[in-house]
Structure 1
Amino acid sequence: MRAYGEVLATPGVARIMAAQLMARFPQGMYSLGLLLHVERTFDSYAAAGLVLAALSIGQGAAGPLTTRWMGRWGTRPVLALTLVVAAASLLAIALVPMGLAAMTAVGAVAGLAMPPITPAVRTLYPTMVTQRMLSRLFSLDATLQEIIWVVGPVAITFVSTQIGTVEGLVSAAVVQVLGGVWFILSPEVGRMRIPPSGKRIGGVLKKVPVVLVVVTGMLLIGGFAASEAAVVSVFGHEGFEAGMVIAANAFGSLVGGLALGGVIIRRRSLAIRIAVCALGFGLACLILDFWWLALMFFLAGIGIAPALSAMSSIVAATVRFSDTPEAYGWIGSGQLIGAAVGSAAAGILIDWQGPIGGFAVAFVLASAAAIVAWVLRHRQPDLTQGIGEPPETAPIELAR
């Protein structure tokens, strides 16, 4: 914990971390909030799925593009514009009566305009701390983001079911605006200058480590999406046990991130951390009991924050500063695709084989991610001495 204290003591880090967490918090609210609101509006889960799909497709398509805009037009203008459009679109879905086609189109606009907070902050981190502390900062960020996925769904469910779905979406939009404004107005964001990328869009994918992180992230998040569908199929949509099991997974990620934040990242580390996730999903197939599933999801969670931290470190050590926003944008798009594919495949297998089919999909996808990371371990940068040369605007630690 002393290592994290040193990171948080760096001027501006604690404030930026709190601001970006608040700005990203609605990520844990919008999907469930839209599901409840659209289903209640049209009395159809198919309609809700269509709007959610439009939101996800929009986010996936816009990720690499909006991140490049930050280098061309500046971080603050891009974040401000996307924040206004995304919040206005989601408020329109909540407050303006419209048909399904119109709501789907507005959902797509909201996805396309979702502010690229995560790529922005992960590009900003290397400018705030020395390279020696950067891996720890990425680990802390990946660990604390679990708060989004534990508290967010609970909060939106409570507001939507106890007060109303309109109020649920409005509350999520208000949180997004407040957090987004706080992050955008932070001095560190104002001082960050991202040089325009000299590559065509997608050029960053010519680097093997970036492709490795995009593919492993897609498979890993797909595995988690499949596992969540399997858990819901075990306990039903009304059972609180499903939420508790998923929360155990997030708690495991929190513990794993804090425990491994100061551990040296070696070339085999990513594969081992993902393999822990796969092991948890594989063992979950054995007994469909609440306590067993909670324990196995806790085990699977231990690997998730450390794996995501390792992915961020690989990108920071591989990609030029001007190209890091786009790289993180591709990672986010890959994870969105993985979540969609994992959920769909799990649904098919659950209908065919029951919950075990869903857990099998989760195990196969996570195992595939671990195998890819292991096979390509020698193409990863050497991080045993920390992340390599600092980007152009990073502080440099002077020898005494």
Structure 2
Amino acid sequence: MALDPYRQLLRLPGVPTLLLVGLLARVPSTATGMALTLHVAEVMGLDYAPAGVVAMASTIGMAIGSPLSGRFVDKHGLRPVLTVTTVAQAAFWACAWALPFPALVVAAALAGLLALPVFSVTRQCLAAMVPVPQRRTGFALDSMLVELSYMMGPALAVAGITTLGSGVTMTVIGAGMSMAGVGLIVLNPPTRSAEELVERAVKVPRRQWITPAFVALLGTAAAATFVLTATELSLVATMTDAKQTAWVGLAVAIWCVFSLVGGFVYGGLSRGLSPLVLIASMGLLTIPVALVEGGWHWLILALLPAGLLCAPSLSATVDVLSRWVPSGARGEAMGFHGTALLIGGAASAPIAGAVIDGHGPEWAFAVAGLMGVAMVVVALPFWRRRPAVPAASVAPVVPEPVVPEPVVEVVEPAVIPSSRE
């Protein structure tokens, strides 16, 4: 495996800073769901069903707000959107811990609608700053950093609420969100490349890039998070039934390491793979996990092949999206991608939960894998109907007409042309 692709990527101006700021900004974002759930279920004493209502309200808000934020970034630039969403997050987290349940549900929905677009903005700016041949490596590294943020954020939320209380923890999350927004505002990374900014941008109608192929791409992204979320729930349920709950955190951490390794290897390859191949393979490799018996270490070992494909699958969908969509609509498209990821994860929880309760956690592994494969099969016929958008989403520069100068006729002696002319 060559390290040169990563060395070349990190030599690009501004890319290391963007990736570092993106990582730090995502940590408080990944802590929000766990913090709200524990606050409602444990601190407010309302059990986990009401906590699920708050989480659902927040998720619905984010699903709607993600493409809207991206559209406003495309139209008005990065800083106005970041300013509004940063203020909204600071206001919500400053008072969320003191709100009664009905008000918290409404506020969580509004906060989700005005969520800080850290994930989509980082990917959008990465697409603008990295040349097309290096984007696969860039998105693979970005997916690895997302894994790291999800390993840190929820764990810090649990530690904070159990030791410091929900008030302090949620205030710290709000401070972290505010710092993340301010950091991105100060950094102000470009949302379009230099070539795209030099020439006049073309306004491409949505019907030219929101095609059946684009919808199929979003479906495969949703399928990936469906498989991942259902697998995580099945893993936790299996270990809980086996009275091995104390090892759940370690098992999930090892599974995340599998994804990191897979993303690192994939980003260093000379050629990428279609997200259809990666997601279908991840689903197929998840199905046999249902047959594993014994301790949790055997279960984790069985998840190794599918785990290696987690980060590559997600990064491949972003890579394809960045090449299919014009630069003038890239923010909105990244927002739709984020919505698809949310829908896949949200849909998997009740389905996997019903399978676990009705037939056992081992069957949930099989259902997760089969659903991933089924979504790829559904997307396959539409895949070749790609958006009819030119690779360079800018209008050609039309040269000004040149007025010919008067021609002065000069009579010269005749010259016999040579064979080179």
TM-score, scaled to structure 1: 0.88
Tell me by how many angstroms 1:118 deviates: 2.2
* 2:112 maps to 1:111: yes
Equivalence for 1:65: 68
Amino acid at match of 1:371: V
Whether the 8 Å CA contact 2:255–2:303 is kept in 1: the answer is yes
Pairwise mapping of residues 1-400 of structure 1 onto structure 2 (< 5 A)?
A: 1-39=3-41, 40-94=43-97, 96=98, 98-189=99-190, 198=203, 203=207, 206-236=210-240, 239-265=245-271, 269-288=274-293, 289-372=295-378, 374-379=380-385, 389=391
Tell me by how many angstroms 1:143 deviates: 1.8
Tell me by how many angstroms 1:127 deviates: 2.6
Root mean square deviation, CA, Å: 2.6
Aligned equivalents of 2:245 and 2:172: distance in 1?
25
Aligned equivalents of 1:44 and 1:204: distance in 2?
47
Whether the 8 Å CA contact 2:278–2:312 is kept in 1: the answer is yes
Whether the 8 Å CA contact 1:135–1:313 is kept in 2: the answer is yes
Residue 145 and residue 204 in structure 1: after superposition, are their counterparts in 2 closer, same or farther (change >3 A)?
A: farther
Aligned equivalents of 1:143 and 1:392: distance in 2?
31
Tell me by how many angstroms 1:199 deviates: 5.8
Aligned equivalents of 2:144 and 2:290: distance in 1?
26
Equivalence for 2:406: none
Structure with max Cα Rg: 2
- Point out where structure 2 has 5 or more consecutive residues left out of the alignment: 396-421
Residue 292 and residue 345 in structure 1: after superposition, are their counterparts in 2 closer, same or farther (change >3 A)?
A: same
Aligned equivalents of 1:167 and 1:274: distance in 2?
40
Whether the 8 Å CA contact 1:248–1:297 is kept in 2: the answer is no
Aligned equivalents of 2:344 and 2:286: distance in 1?
16
Equivalence for 1:384: none
SS of the residue corresponding to residue 43 of structure 1 reads coil
Q: Percent identity?
A: 28
Q: Provide Cα deviations, 1:216-241, integer angstroms capped at 9, x if missing partner.
A: 01111112111122122223399232
Tell me by how many angstroms 1:343 deviates: 0.4
Amino acid at match of 1:15: T
Aligned equivalents of 2:239 and 2:255: distance in 1?
16
Moved more, 105-114 or 36-45: 36-45
Residue 207 and residue 187 in structure 1: after superposition, are their counterparts in 2 closer, same or farther (change >3 A)?
A: same
Aligned equivalents of 1:154 and 1:132: distance in 2?
36
- Point out where structure 1 has 5 or more consecutive residues left out of the alignment: 382-387, 394-400
Moved more, 98-107 or 184-193: 184-193
Amino acid at match of 1:57: I
Residue 10 and residue 270 in structure 1: after superposition, are their counterparts in 2 closer, same or farther (change >3 A)?
A: same
Aligned equivalents of 1:263 and 1:257: distance in 2?
10
Aligned equivalents of 1:125 and 1:391: distance in 2?
17
Whether the 8 Å CA contact 1:204–1:323 is kept in 2: the answer is no
SS of the residue corresponding to residue 291 of structure 2 reads coil
